[in-house]
C-alpha cells in the first residue's frame, strides 16, 4: 500500500487558491498528514541591465505570496505541519514536480458558469497520477453527501475507493450515480440494438451498479449509501446529482472515452460545471 506524507496545494494569492488552501489544510489535518503549499513565480524576460533587479523583485514577491499561504494554512489548522515550495515556471509543472508522495493535489477553480477551465487546472487534472481536487466558490454545503460516478471502468472503481475513503473521513453519505442511456462509442451493431429496449437497459445497468457498490458497502458498513440510476447522459446525471453535494468524484477517463485521452468528456464536463468540489481520480 502506498504511503503518503502530505497533501499538496497550489497557491497564488488569488481568491480561488485561498479557498483551495483552506480546504487542503482541513483535509491534511483530517488525514493526519503534512501540508505542502506550492507557489510558482515567473522569471521575467531578459530586459537588459535591469534584468537582475527585476528577477530579484519577482522572486521576492513570490516568496511573500508563499509565506502568506503558509500563514493562512496555519490559521486554519494551528497544529498542522506546513512547508512551502517556491519554484519558477508554469504552475502546473510546479505542482506536478512537487507531487512526490502527496496523497492528493488541491487546486482552485473559477465558478461553474465563469471562464473555461484554466490551463493549470486542466493540465494538472489530466497529467497527475493521483487524485486532483478542484475547489470552487458556491453556497455552503449542508447535505453531507459525496456523489461518485460509476461506469464499470478502472477509473470508476478508483473513484469509488476515493469517495468512500473521503466519506469516512468527513462523516458523509455516498450517492453512487450511473447514467445509462447512450452506448459507448465502441459498441457493435448487436449491442446498439439492445438500447431500443429501455427496460432491459435499466435492469442490466441497475445490476451492474449494485455489483460495483456492493464491496464498498461491505467494507464501510457505517456509511449511508444509496444508488441512483438515470437513463440519461452520464454528464447530465452527475451534474444534477451534484446539486447540494459536498463533493463529486469521477474517474479521469470513463468506459466510453477514446483511449488516448488523458481526461475524458465526462470528467472534463464535471470539472468545468459542477457547483461543488470535484475530485478527478486516475487509476
The CATH number covering residue 183 comes to 3.40.50.12370
Residue 11: pLDDT above 80?
Answer: yes
Q: How much is the mean pLDDT over the chain?
A: 87
Task: Tell me which of 34-43, 68-77, 260-269 is least confident.
Answer: 260-269
Shared domain check, 159 and 181: yes
pLDDT band at residue 196 using 50, 70 and 90 as cut-offs: low
The answer on 275 and 218 residing in a single domain is: yes
Residue identified by cell 456509511 is 223
Same domain, 102 and 164: no
Indicate whether 226 pLDDT > 60.
yes
Of 253, 235, 262, 257, which Cα lies nearest the Cα of 159? Answer: 253
Does 183 score more than 80 pLDDT?
no
CA angle 94, 122, 255 (to 5 degrees): 125
Phi and psi dihedrals of 114, rounded to 5?
Answer: -95, -145
Average pLDDT over residues 264-270: 92
Q: Which of 120-124, 149-153, 179-183, 203-207 has the lowest mean pLDDT?
A: 179-183
- Residue 172 and residue 215 in one domain: yes
Domain boundary among 90, 110, 135: 135
182: pLDDT confidence band, cut at 50, 70 and 90? low
State how far Cα 80 lies from the chain centre: 22
Are the beta carbons of 66 and 73 closer than 8 angstroms? no
Looking at the structure, tell me whether residues 190 and 100 fall in a common domain: no
Q: Which of 115, 135, 155 is the last residue of a domain?
A: 135
Domain assignment present for residue 140? The answer is no
Does residue 237 register a pLDDT over 60?
Answer: yes
CA distance 244 to 139: 9
Task: Tell me the pLDDT tens digit for each residue of 81-119.
Answer: 999 999 999 999 999 999 999 999 999 998 665 556 778
Which range marks the domain in which residue 207 is found? 145-281
Mean pLDDT, residues 252-264 taken together: 61
Residue 105 and residue 156 share a domain: no
Please check the confidence at residue 1 and state whether its pLDDT lies above 50: no
The CATH code of the domain that includes 63 is: 3.40.50.620
Specify the pLDDT at position 258: 45
What would the mean pLDDT of 260-269 be, rounded to a whole number? 79
Could you tell me if 155 and 255 lie in one domain? yes
How far apart, in whole angstroms, are the C-alpha atoms of residue 132 and residue 142? Answer: 23
Is 151 within 8 Å of 251 (Cβ atoms)?
yes
Tens digits of per-residue pLDDT, 56-66?
Answer: 888 999 999 99
Q: Indicate if 258 and 162 belong to the same structural domain.
A: yes
Partner residues linked to 84 by β-bridges: 37
Q: DSSP for the chain, please give it.
A: -----EEEEE--SSHHHHHHHHHHHHHHHHHT-EEEEEEEEPPPPP-GGGHHHHHHHHHHHHHHHHHHHHHHHHHH-TT--EEEEEEES-HHHHHHHH-TTEEEEEEE---TTSSPPPHHHHHHHHH-SS-EEEE---PPP-S-EEEEE--SSHHHHHHHHHHHHHHHHHT-EEEEEEE-SSPPTT--HHHHHHTT-HHHHHHHHHHHHHHHHHHHHHH-TTS-EEEEEESS-HHHHHHHHHTT-SEEEEESS-TTS-TT-SS-HHHHHHHHH-SS-EEEE--
Q: Does 167 share its domain with 237?
A: yes
Number of domains present in the structure of the chain: 2
In a domain, 1, yes or no: no
Q: Is residue 44 part of a domain?
A: yes
* Same-domain pairing of 74 and 188: no
Question: What are 199-219's pLDDT values in tens digits?
Answer: 777 888 899 999 999 999 999
**pLDDT, tens digit, for every residue of 138-170?**
666 668 999 999 998 888 999 999 999 999 999
Percent of the chain with pLDDT over 70: 82
CA–CA distance, 174 with 147 (Å, rounded to integer): 6
Q: Which residue has the higher pLDDT, 111 or 185?
A: 111
Confidence at residue 119, expressed as pLDDT on a 0 to 100 scale: 83
At 185 the pLDDT is: 45
Q: Tell whether 150 and 275 lie within a shared domain.
A: yes
Q: CB–CB of 178/150 below 8 Å? A: yes
Residue 96 and residue 30 share a domain: yes
β-strand 278-281 against 132-135: which pairing, if any? antiparallel
**Domain limit, last residue, from 93, 110, 135:** 135
Q: Does residue 280 surpass a pLDDT of 90?
A: yes
In this prediction, residue 186 carries a pLDDT of: 45
Amino acid at each position: 500500500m502506498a504511503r503518503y506524507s502530505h497533501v499538496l496545494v497550489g497557491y497564488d494569492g488569488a481568491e480561488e487558491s485561498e479557498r483551495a488552501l483552506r480546504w487542503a489544510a482541513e483535509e491534511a489535518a483530517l488525514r493526519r498528514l503534512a501540508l505542502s503549499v506550492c507557489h510558482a513565480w515567473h522569471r521575467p524576460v531578459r530586459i537588459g541591465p535591469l534584468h537582475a533587479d527585476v528577477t530579484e523583485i519577482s522572486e521576492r514577491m513570490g516568496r511573500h505570496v508563499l509565506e502568506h499561504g503558509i500563514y493562512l494554512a496555519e490559521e486554519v489548522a494551528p497544529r498542522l505541519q506546513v512547508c512551502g515550495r517556491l519554484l519558477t515556471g508554469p504552475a502546473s509543472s510546479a505542482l506536478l514536480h512537487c507531487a512526490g508522495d502527496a496523497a492528493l493535489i488541491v487546486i482552485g477553480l473559477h465558478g461553474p458558469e465563469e471562464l473555461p477551465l484554466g490551463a493549470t487546472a486542466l493540465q494538472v487534472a489530466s497529467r497527475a497520477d493521483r487524485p486532483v481536487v478542484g475547489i470552487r466558490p458556491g453556497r455552503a454545503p449542508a447535505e453531507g453527501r459525496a456523489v461518485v460516478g460509476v461506469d464499470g471502468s478502472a477509473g470508476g472503481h478508483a473513484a469509488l475507493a476515493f469517495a468512500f475513503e473521503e466519506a469516512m473521513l468527513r462523516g458523509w453519505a455516498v450517492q453512487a450515480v450511473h447514467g445509462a442511456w447512450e452506448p459507448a462509442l465502441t459498441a457493435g451493431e448487436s449491442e446498439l440494438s439492445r438500447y431500443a429496449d429501455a427496460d432491459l437497459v435499466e435492469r442490466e445497468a441497475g445490476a451492474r451498479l449494485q455489483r460495483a457498490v456492493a464491496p464498498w458497502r461491505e467494507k464501510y458498513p457505517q456509511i449511508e449509501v444509496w444508488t441512483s440510476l438515470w437513463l440519461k447522459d452520464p454528464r447530465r446525471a452527475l451534474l444534477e446529482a451534484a446539486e447540494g453535494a459536498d463533493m463529486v468524484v469521477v474517474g479521469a477517463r470513463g468506459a466510453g472515452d477514446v483511449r488516448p485521452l488523458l481526461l475524458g468528456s465526462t470528467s472534463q464536463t464535471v470539472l468545468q460545471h459542477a457547483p461543488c468540489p470535484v475530485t478527478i481520480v486516475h487509476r
